[in-house]
Structure 1
Amino acid sequence: MDPTRARLVALAAERGVSLSALSGLLGRNAAYLQQFVRKGSPRKLEENDRRTLAEFFGVDEAELGAPPRDTVLTVGGLGGAGAPIRTADWADIPRLPLGASAGPGTIAQDAAPTDRLRFSGRWLRQQGLEPAMLSVIEVEGDSMEPTLRDGDEILVDRSPRPLRSGLHVIRLDDVLLVKRLEPGSAGMLHVISDNPAYPRMERARAEVAIIGRVVWKGGRV
């Protein structure tokens, strides 16, 4: 058995899923992957099938027969720290040890990434996101509940874009915060906590350094 077929069998065994079930995931007849593995037909997986399986198993498409397309991106992360690494059609986004406070506030400090969080390159492109402009940081505090909870992780897009209402990571009075921003009148910004126990603020636009827009969140159940 060639390495691609052997790897597929091993991945299915590790996940505890049958080849027939995986064939159904691809929208194929139940014997499709059995024939691929045992009889060598088709000779190789179609690109869409390979991508779907790689995303299901959380592995590089190269493990399932795709030609390697590794590229290292060298643009820095939030505050110049870290560099996303794109492997095949995955992007490893730096996870930075910075707490974006959703409470009273913490002092913002630039730091090197502790590790990385992997995202589908196809999903990022669908969202119009460039890996080199993304960073993952942790939320601290409860002022953005129920939208964001203490310990949630957020994906921050630092691409320069026109300001529109939504969740943003900002620096305000030398403190790193995650808040909901809404444009106000005469150069003012509404800085809003989703938790009604916290008062909303109105600050001059020049006082608020917008680090980036929150485009994804994840956290423990």
Structure 2
Amino acid sequence: MTLSNIGERLREERTRLGLSQTAFGEVGGVKKFAQSNYETGKRHPDALYLESLAKIGVDIQYVVSGIRSTNDAEGVEPAEEGLSPVAMYDIEAAAGDGRSLEQEEVETTLYFPTDQLAAQGLDPAQVVGIKVRGDSMDGTLADGDWVLVDRSRREPKPEGVFLLLVHGERRIKRVQRVAGGAWLLISDNEHYQPELIKPQDMKDVEILGRCEIRIGRVS
């Protein structure tokens, strides 16, 4: 068995799941350059990388041995043609200070029609799902809702609802730009007061993506 064969099968799995090298590498905790080296056989992926990929449905047994697994990792079915996998995270569980979202445990993987995501202007490789926790966004997002987040949109233009990292804690807030370059973080639940982020405090705030599509219970 040669490394290049492992690389070819790794690329085959990435293509099957409809992910770019950048997005696939992020799941495994590596950059696009390293992912490219894995696929061309220039470098060998380690166990932690492979373990991370297993959580989104990559058939690790096939990658390593060339033999298809009879049951995919954690019961995740391979993506059918025309469907794109979206990793879904619990915002409460995924609260590690300074950790990238892809290093957190995936609660589940849902599959969405690729063409419908594209019709909404979304690149499947840039979309993750987040479970909403708390009532601060009541009226827009309820506790237990899922929301699809576009990680390619990390600027508060146009203004909207964003997934943020604030002082090491992930939050979903409406972001409004105000005079002087400050941001106002707004909870749609009127019982919560807006939070002003001054320009000198911007280092403690990072936009992780824009909330685009809500998936929730009909009330």
What band does the TM-score fall into relative to the shorter chain?
0.5 to 0.7
Q: Structure 1 CA distance, aligned partners of 2:107 and 2:93?
A: 16
Name the structure 1 match of 2:217. 220
* TM-score, normalization by structure 2: 0.59
Q: What percentage of residue pairs aligned between the two structures are identical?
A: 30
Alignment of 1:64-83 (within 5 A): 70=16, 72-73=18-19, 74=21, 75-76=23-24
Question: Which one has a larger percent strand, Structure 1 or Structure 2?
Answer: 1
Q: In the alignment, is the contact (CA less than 8 A) between 2:182 and 2:197 conserved in 1?
A: yes
Q: In the alignment, is the contact (CA less than 8 A) between 1:172 and 1:208 conserved in 2?
A: yes
Decide which of 104, 116, 120 is 1:123's aligned counterpart.
116
RMSD of aligned residue pairs (Cα, Å): 2.9
Deviation of 1:163 after TM superposition, in Å, equals: 2.4
Alignment of 1:1-221 (within 5 A): 70=16, 72-73=18-19, 74=21, 75-76=23-24, 87-99=80-92, 110-160=103-153, 162-164=155-157, 165-204=159-198, 206=202, 207-221=204-218
Q: 1:83-107 deviations in whole A, cap 9, x for unaligned?
A: 5976421111011233399xxxx65
Q: In the alignment, is the contact (CA less than 8 A) between 1:99 and 1:137 conserved in 2?
A: no
Q: Structure 2 CA distance, aligned partners of 1:78 and 1:218?
A: 23
Q: Which ranges of structure 1 fall in alignment gaps of 5 or more residues?
A: 1-68
Q: Structure 1 CA distance, aligned partners of 2:18 and 2:148?
A: 20
Deviation of 1:112 after TM superposition, in Å, equals: 2.9
- Corresponding residue pairs, total: 149
Question: Which one has a larger percent helix, Structure 1 or Structure 2?
Answer: 2
Q: Structure 2 CA distance, aligned partners of 1:114 and 1:177?
A: 18
Q: Structure 2 CA distance, aligned partners of 1:186 and 1:201?
A: 15
**Which amino acid letter does the alignment assign opposite residue 211 of structure 1?**
L
Please tell me whether Structure 1 or Structure 2 has the larger radius of gyration of its CA atoms. 1
